[in-house]
Amino acid sequence: MNYYRPMVAMALAAASIASPAEAKWLRAETDSFIIYSEGNEKSLREFAANLQRFDATLRSIFRTPYEGEDNRLPIYLLPTSEDVGELASGSRGSSIAGYYRGDRDGSFALSHRETGDANPKFGTPMAQQVLFHEYTHHFMKRHLRAAFPAWFIEGFAEYHSTVDFDKDGRAELGKPVYSRAYGLLRMPRIPAEKLLVQQPGEMRNSGQTDVYYGRAWILTHMLYQDAARDGQMGAYVAAINAGTDTKQAATQVFGDLAQLDKDLNRYINGRLSYSLTRTPIPVPTNIAIAPLAADEDAVIEARLERLNARGSKERETKARDLLRKLVAADPANAEAQYEYAAAEWDMDEDLRDLPAVRAALDKALAAKPSHVRANVLLGRFLLHELDEKGEDDPAAWREARKPIQLANRTDPLDPVPLYAYFSSFLDQRVRPSEPALKALERAFQIAPENVEVRVSYAFALANRGEFDTALALAKSVAFDPHDNGRGETMLKRLEEMRDAHAKRGGGKDADAESDDAA
């Protein structure tokens, strides 16, 4: 989701930071995150501790077991909110102050280091609220295995964005989101019934979108904090996941929706309460901070440009050209060579320079043979070549998969090689082998927030006749407010597969065997 800054925040001066010439990127590692920042070590440590503490709060509330994340979330901190907006949209005047993305090459989040808006009277700093909101999306997708309606996905993230800690270390939940006050109190209201069934993408302008998020937050707050409605949210989500229509589920659980709207309007004008965790949330101490290696430090800003350029030919070209200059200046830099190869690969097929992709990958792997993502991309490159020439020799396809298998052996906890191995069978246009299906399952276990992996896993389950689980995954995509309609198409297709399967008499399909192993 893109988190929009209130207009008042646009007037705030940026916090004092080092100039690009002076700055050097640092990397902070915690149990759940890898955080990149140019700020000083003290402020980065404080930031990392607060974020890890927030993660511990969510795990405590939702009873999520914690034995360390197999796949930690990368977070990039830029100097100002304007820097984030420009990177996100390509425009310096963008109001986007932070965002989370489940990218095909891994999830990541962007936020900023501004603290000029910190004022105890108005809650936690906006930069913290932005990141807490975005991380809550990630936490929900990764750890709360259910389909949630669009309004609640946003309301849930807003509700937890203002978590703070009292002097005894207990987490405070449900504190006001002051940035939504104007939309809630001054803008035309969205009726509760409309809120319950409409996607935020259907709003006509940014003002309506702001009202939508505000109403989603206050409805979530009421359902969590109003004792008279205790248990209703859980019952509502259970009904939706059992197949009940969204509006029907709301009426069954919340009662008359016109009355719900009146109750909500009264709730807005009342005194909001908040709750405390029963026990203190300890400040984490397992935080390691070190400067980035010179190779990665030289390329990190260009990497961010590449990751955020997708979908814009102009920006993709800019990122590619920037990286081309970097590798010309430092040809032995494995990170730069990989990023340049990836940027060239990201171009439309008619614009790609395939010999340049291969040359850059060869240089990256000559400098660092175990480079995980370079090996994955080499595998994709080789598979693409086989597809282009119509190769049907299974031995050739097995050979092309070897770099991907090496990447998996190098880092078994990276979901990207696992998913690349599975999808290589789709590239070959053959049924995935049992090891490929297990690789897909493992990729889903490590990165369930990745929509592409989730979709593929749902269809793999359906092909085995496991339609209940497949449809549950499809609903989680279809209800997502950031989905842009893909989930609805997926859900319809899976329902058609289920119905056709039932007409054939049911039973589980057998997967084709293969001697290919991950």
The verdict on 297 and 276 lying in the same domain is no
Pair 150, 81 in one domain: no
Closest CA to 446 of 50, 79, 102: 102
Q: Report pLDDT digits (tens) over 59-95.
A: 999 998 776 788 999 999 999 999 999 998 888 878 8
The span from the CA of 320 to the CA of 324, in Å, is 6
Burial zone of 344 (CB within 10 Å; 0-12 exposed, 13-18 middle, 19+ buried): buried
**CA angle, residues 410, 365, 445, in degrees to nearest 5:** 30
Confirm if 415 and 71 have CB atoms less than 8 A apart: yes
- Identify whether residues 258 and 303 lie together within a single domain: no
Confidence check: pLDDT of 116 > 60: yes
Residue type, 183: G
Amino acid making up residue 271: R
Round to whole Å and give the CA distance between 41 and 21: 17
Give the whole-angstrom CA distance, residue 109 versus residue 99: 6
Q: What pLDDT does 491 receive?
A: 86
Among the residue ranges 206-220, 241-255, 317-331, the one predicted with the least confidence is: 206-220
Domain boundary among 76, 107, 132: 132
Range in 50-64, 105-119, 158-172, 417-431 the model is least confident about: 105-119
User: Beta-carbon neighbour count of residue 152 at 10 Å?
Assistant: 22
Q: Which of 457, 497, 488 is nearest to 473 (CA)?
A: 457
Contact 84, 10 (CB under 8 A): no
**What's the pLDDT score for residue 489?**
85
Confidence (pLDDT) at 283: 92
Report the chain's mean pLDDT, rounded to a whole number.
88
Residue 228 belongs to what domain range? 146-280
Q: Is residue 285 part of a domain?
A: no
Q: Are residues 317 and 432 in the same domain?
A: yes
Same domain flag for 403 and 270: no
Token duo for residue 373: 């993502």
Q: Bigger pLDDT: 101 or 221? A: 221
Q: Within its chain, how far is the Cα of 359 from the centroid?
A: 32
**Residue 414 is part of a domain; what is its CATH number?**
1.25.40.10
pLDDT tens readout for residues 471-508: 888 888 888 877 666 778 888 899 899 999 888 876 65
pLDDT attached to residue 506? 67
Rounded CA gap, 248 and 46, in Å? 46
Structure tokens at 293: 């290696």
Backbone torsions φ then ψ of 28, nearest 5 degrees: -110, 130
Going by pLDDT thresholds of 50, 70 and 90, the confidence category of residue 509 is low
- Asked whether residue 338 is domain-assigned, the answer is yes
- The residue type found at 133 is H
Which residue reads 């000029």 in tokens?
Answer: 116
269 and 297 in a single domain? The answer is no
- Identify which of 113-127, 207-221, 399-413, 451-465 has the greatest average pLDDT: 399-413
d(CA 434, CA 427): 16
Average pLDDT over residues 164-176: 95
**Cα distance between residue 385 and residue 379, in whole Å:** 10
Q: According to the model, what pLDDT value does residue 117 have?
A: 56
Q: How many CB atoms lie within 10 A of CB 249?
A: 21
- Answer yes or no: are the C-beta atoms of 274 and 174 closer than 8 Å: yes
Q: What is the pLDDT of residue 517?
A: 41
Answer yes or no: is 514 within a domain. Answer: no
Q: Are residues 128 and 159 in the same domain?
A: no
Residue range 394-415: mean pLDDT, rounded: 98
Instruction: Assess whether 253 and 302 both reside in one domain.
Output: no
103 occurs within a structural domain: yes
pLDDT tens string 3-39:
433 333 322 222 333 333 445 899 999 999 999 998 7
In a domain, 260, yes or no: yes
Positive/negative CA dihedral, 234, 239, 242, 247:
negative
CB atoms within 10 A of CB 308: 22
Which pLDDT belongs to residue 484? 66
Neighbours of 347 (CB within 10 A): 17
In a 3-state reduction of DSSP, which class is residue 173? strand
Which sign, positive or negative, has the C-alpha torsion 167, 171, 175, 180? positive
Residue 509 lies in a domain: no
Q: What percent of the chain has pLDDT over 90?
A: 70
Residue 138 within any structural domain of the chain: no
- The residue among 132, 160, 184 that closes a domain is 132
The CATH number for 65's domain is: 3.40.30
Q: Specify if 397 maps to a domain.
A: yes
Q: What is the CATH number of the domain that holds 228?
A: 1.10.390.20
Pair (14, 91) in one structural domain: yes
The model carries a pTM of 0.87
Return the exposure string of 262-295: e unless at least 16 CB atoms fall within 10 Å of the residue's CB, then b: ebbeebbeeeeeeeebeeebeebeebebeebeeb
Question: 33-37 and 73-78: which strand pairing?
Answer: parallel
Where does the pLDDT of residue 518 fall: very low under 50, low under 70, confident under 90, or very high at 90 and above? very low
Q: What is the pLDDT of residue 114?
A: 82
Contact by Cβ (8 Å): 337, 331:
yes
The answer to whether residues 297 and 431 belong to one domain is yes
For residue range 346-361, what is the model confidence (pLDDT) as tens digits? 999 999 999 999 999 9
pLDDT at 104: 80
Shared-domain flag, residues 299 and 432: yes
> For position 293, what pLDDT does the model report?
93
Judge if 214 and 121 occupy the same domain: no
The number of domains in the chain is 3
Question: Which of 382, 417, 444 represents a domain boundary (last residue)?
Answer: 444
